[in-house]
Chain A
Amino acid sequence: MARYAMVIDLDRCTGCRACMEACKVENNTPQAHFWMYVFRFEEGEYPNTRVWFMPRPCMHCDNAPCVKVCPVGARYKRPDGLVATDFDRCIGCRYCEVACPYGVNYFNWKKPERNHYIDWTDREAGAVLDPVTNGAVPPYKNPDLEKPYGPERRRIAGGGHLKGVIEKCTFCVHRVERGQQPACVANCPLYALHFGDLDDPGSRVSQLLRRRPHFRLLEEAGTQPRVYYLGGKPPGEESRQIEAVRARV
């Protein structure tokens, strides 16, 4: 059984947020949902200013507070390390969300057909688009998200973003089980993101972690994250976020 982890090289990140967009398109996430988010930081005072960037996926913790608190086992830890959300099981209590120290959970506040960027139910637009899209919402809807995954055969890839259930980064389970990299990793223009199996000493992630010093976010919280950062340092009180994305639904 693989032990998946993500390694993020802060020395390479240009803060372009392409990973955020790759995630959004791959997973058709609703507006203002950022399963992957990129912080942009500024430190120090002119002219001794420093600018740096930090991507923030779900940490897929080994000791995940969200898994512990889930009252119905909708949020669960897979043997391969992925922290999954069964959207058929979730009752929408958002306990996982308040329990998570990293703020990676997003709740479907709206109905799916109202939850996307453009009102795809708009009659005029729909009329023209339907012949191509067969009424899919959004038109670039990814069918893989509906399917069940893992030996447990549970639907954990986000699906149609059902109203009233919680969601978060799935490490693109639908791609990983197909042997692909998560969308953000695959797309990173600077190859700052890496994904792989810690049990395989030959994997890129294992090599990087052997070769270079690294840290994990909020390790002191005992969550044992599966996301490692190379270079740089964790953000502190001195790190001012600039160009924050404040999107609300």
Chain B
Amino acid sequence: MKISRRTFVKGAAAAGGAAVAGRVIPRGLETLVAAQRTTAPAVTEEWVPTTCWIGKQDCGMLARRINGRVVKLEGHPGNPLNRGTLCPKGVAQIIAVYDPHRVKAPLIRTNEKGIPGRWRQATWDEALDLVARRIREVRAKDPKLLVWQKGRSKGKAFYDEAFVKASGATKLHHGAFCSDAGYRACEYTVGMSGVLHPDFRHTRYLLAWGWNATNAGGNQLCWITWPQQLVAARERGLKVVVIDPRLRGAGPFADEWLPIRPGTDLALALALCHELIRQGTVDRDYLARYTNAPYLVAEDGFFLRVNGKEQVWDATQGTARPVDAPGVTPALEGAFTVGGRNVRTAFQVFREHVAQYTPEWAAEVCGVPAEAIRRVARELGEEARIGSSTVIDGVTLPYRPVAIMAYHVSQQELGFQAVRAMLMVMMLLGAVGAVGGQRVDVGGWSVHENFEKLDQIEIKDPPYNIYLKDSKYFPINSNNSAVVARVMLNPDKYGVKDRPEVLIVHMSNPLVAFASQPDLIESYKKFKFVAVIDPWLSETADYFADVVLPAATIEKYEGPSKASDQYVDGVALRLPAMKPLFQSRGDIDIYLDLCEKAGILYGKGGYLDHLNQALKLKAPYLLPLDRKPTVRSIFDRWARSEGISEGVAYFEKHGVKVKGPIPPEKAYGYATHPPFGGVRHRLYGEALLRYRQEMRQRGAAPLYWQDYTPLPTWRRPTMEESPARYDLYLISYKMIEFKQSRSSFIPLLAELAPKQRLDINPQAARQRGIRNGEEVWVESHNALTGETRRVRVPVHYTEAIRPDTVGLPHHYGLWSHPGVREQGPTANALYFTGEGYVANTADQSFHVKVRVYKGEER
């Protein structure tokens, strides 16, 4: 029988003509009759392509549409990212699309800020006018005082680039909470924008370094793609060594587990370097030709330069010669005297530097047995097959089937240097850019502009901008919104002159999603005007939005989005699977109107102009700068400009454009011409030393410059200074059920993991007399300020975590949606930001010392 509310009401009324009579006849008896009713009438059914809206990689989807109503979302078989499948979130988002608690119309605040909002519905015109006026006002003052907070918004070209450029706004990322410390390390060291990941088709030995394989994504791609490649690789004989305080993430795919102490990854990486050099399993050829390892380093730590040229020691001639001198055969090791100055090769310096980091030493620091470290180093050395080569699509390339997968692990106080050290392990083995070896960017091997930029930063004197760009505090800077919060609360301390006034939050929920919640809540009070673009009333909107603009979910055009799994390249578009529900609108529509009303849409330097550049549109497909296009027509132009003759219709038919396999010349650093894009990888970070000195000269405190060392150098993380009774490390992690803070209100998913819980080793729990499922206090401590924060959560026994470590999932702590009130606190209520709890690149650390207790004791 077809139960719909309408027929249900009819039935009730029919049963006696009145609602009363309908109630008198128990429906329990009605069903026998009901069951005999004929089946549902014939329906029109179609499958329309679109892309997932929940995750970061926009998996291809096919929406099953019946009478214009989407009833199911399935994976797009043709999309290289997910190949016909979806993760739980992707499947469950259908119920979110219809969620009656979406923001149904533009909202304007009627009560004061900092408390749950009360709203009145407004027309789009009214709401947009209001926001546009504020934008005009603030831009008249200084465009930089307009802040655009990026979240999980897609269509980079439309928002991050065109809008930010056209409005001149200050852009805030979320990367500093993800893996940007790793990005900076890789950009600076090998010129690739990304974190570390393997060449799964060929890798035979993998260090899964803090990689939450069964729950979270990996470098640059969402969850589905990486596990698919991991499992396939294991069936080909890949061995996986898991380096993680918690085994749960790797699940059954761990061949060996090194339960490392949180925050000590740098030490382990250094010990591996130590062992590799001791074993002599070092790819000297790679180091000499493609890195700055042979550069001569003077005693002051800077390269020896002769009229601006770095020098190497020519082994054959026994003299120092310019690195690019013809026929030079640079020595990799050795100490020499050049013009009366004692110099050593960078590799020699490195070698002597890591001599102190023995496995025994690391065992102490990391809580991992020394013999295990030795064995892993030995296996790495053997599996690397240094000197061997193989043929890929007719190209002969070095074969080094060892690699590291590292992602969120980079978000720790020593993250930048830790990832650099991990890279060095792979550099010693010559695995960077080799077949089966270390990869960094799924897009292919092209050198990122930051390789030079991060080397040439000019540290300035105050005033600094809101996220302390080019400052003496964080010269290399990942633009951390939590740090921004602290700066806003105390601008003078950081030499910031004027506070920003207007904030546009797009698909982001800083109050819950970003670390150090208390700081964020305080700082948001400082904004004069906050507009939020979001399908739901985010907590940030609830407390601080003056205007909420309801965005659509999957019912909109968005993109273009990369559809590459690092082997096959493609591009996809999000297409409206049905008309936007309620009064919501596609984000791009919103921006077009907003820009028009704010007077930054048309003409040179306007939104459309920047859009032309951002989308790399070529004539004759350039958008005219004098009239507002429809979103569909923009994508049509883009598609044709990309050489797709059918235009956007192609995507409306196929959903994804698969460009075919990525050739080795693009995929492998060794195969590019010239190899590695012609850059020398930075084993030795001379610029880091330079920054260190400039920061000191400008009077920055040691804790800002202490990690700016040319070579990764171990020190105790700041959190270790917390009193001994804070005897546990808190780490946080993602669960497969949810995406950040953006899905725990989806009832289908919330049902699977309804409540926040603290992972704890039963051994540790019993010492504290804590039973499984019992509620406890988790209290974190800031080693520098002495501040403490605490939350109450039930514990969850697991043998898959170090006894000195406890874990909290992200995702929880929401309050504005009726479905989430019982879920419990967010881990971000416990973390601290700023000094001691960010990396030297302003990247957020998700490590803190905590204590766990049952009662009210304090």
A residues touching B (Cβ–Cβ < 8 Å)?
A: 10-18, 20-22, 24-26, 31-32, 42, 44-47, 49-53, 87-88, 111-113, 117-118, 120-122, 124-126, 128-130, 132-143, 146-148, 155, 159-160, 162-164, 186-191, 242-243, 245, 247
Contact = CB atoms under 8 A, between A and B. Distances in A.
5 contacts: A120-B100, A136-B4, A164-B28, A189-B224, A247-B751
Contact of B800 (A46, A125, A130): A46
B43 A51 contact: no
A243 to B, nearest CB: 7
Contact of B5 (A12, A14, A126, A159): A126
A129 B85 CA distance: 28
A243 B247 contact: no
Given A49-B247, A122-B100, A146 B799 contact: no
Given A17-B752, A88-B36, A140-B71, A12 B95 contact: no
A117 B801 contact: no
Contacts of B73: 25
A147 B247 contact: no
A47 B247 CA distance: 9
The 6 closest A-B CB pairs, nearest first, are: A125-B100, A117-B747, A135-B4, A21-B91, A139-B98, A189-B85
A31 B100 contact: no
A31 B36 CA distance: 25
Given A17-B88, A118-B95, A112 B3 contact: yes
B71 A142 contact: yes
Nearest to A135: B4
B802 A12 contact: no
Nearest to A162: B31
Contacts of B43: 143
Contact of B751 (A46, A117, A147, A160): A117
Given A18-B86, A31-B751, A137 B39 contact: no
Given A14-B251, A51-B252, A159-B1, A132 B752 contact: no
A173 to B, nearest CB: 14
Nearest to B213: A14
Interface stretch (B62-70, B520-528, B647-655, B835-843): B62-70
A16 B800 contact: no
Contacts of A88: 35-36
A187 B92 contact: no
A49 B100 contact: no
Interface string B75-90: 1000000101111101
B91 A16 contact: no
A69 to B, nearest CB: 22
Contacts of B66: 143
B160 interface: no
A121 B803 CA distance: 49
A26 B95 CA distance: 12
Nearest to A133: B69
Contact of A20 (B4, B68, B88, B747): B88
Contacts of B736: 14-17
Interface string B796-833: 10111111000000000000000000000000000000
Interface in B522-560: none
B257 interface: yes
A144 B754 CA distance: 31
Interface of B: 1-8, 27-28, 31, 34-36, 39-40, 43, 66-75, 82, 84-88, 90-92, 94-95, 98-100, 104, 213-214, 223-224, 227-228, 231, 235, 247-248, 250-253, 257, 259, 578-579, 581-582, 736-737, 747-749, 751-754, 761, 763, 796, 798-803
A124 B101 CA distance: 10
Nearest to B38: A146
Nearest to B84: A186
Given A15-B214, A128-B581, A25 B72 contact: yes
A137 B754 contact: no
Contacts of A247: 751, 754
Nearest to B736: A16
A122 B818 CA distance: 14
Contacts of B90: 18
Contact of A128 (B100, B228, B257): B100
Contacts of A12: 231
B772 to A, nearest CB: 10
A132 B584 CA distance: 14
Given A128-B100, A187-B85, 14 more contacts: A15-B251, A21-B749, A31-B747, A32-B751, A42-B799, A46-B802, A50-B252, A53-B252, A118-B747, A121-B5, A142-B72, A162-B1, A163-B27, A247-B754
A50 to B, nearest CB: 7
A45 B247 CA distance: 12
A187 B82 CA distance: 10
B761 A16 contact: no
Given A139-B69, A142-B72, A87 B35 contact: yes
Chain A CB within 10 Å — which of B27, B223, B252, B796 has the most? B252
Contacts of B235: 11
Given A20-B752, A132-B69, A190 B35 contact: no
Contacts of B227: 14, 189-190
A147 to B, nearest CB: 5
B301 to A, nearest CB: 41
Contacts of B796: 242-243
B737 A137 contact: no
Contacts of B85: 18, 187-189, 191
Contact of A42 (B82, B582, B754, B798): B798
A13 B763 CA distance: 29
Contacts of B798: 42, 242
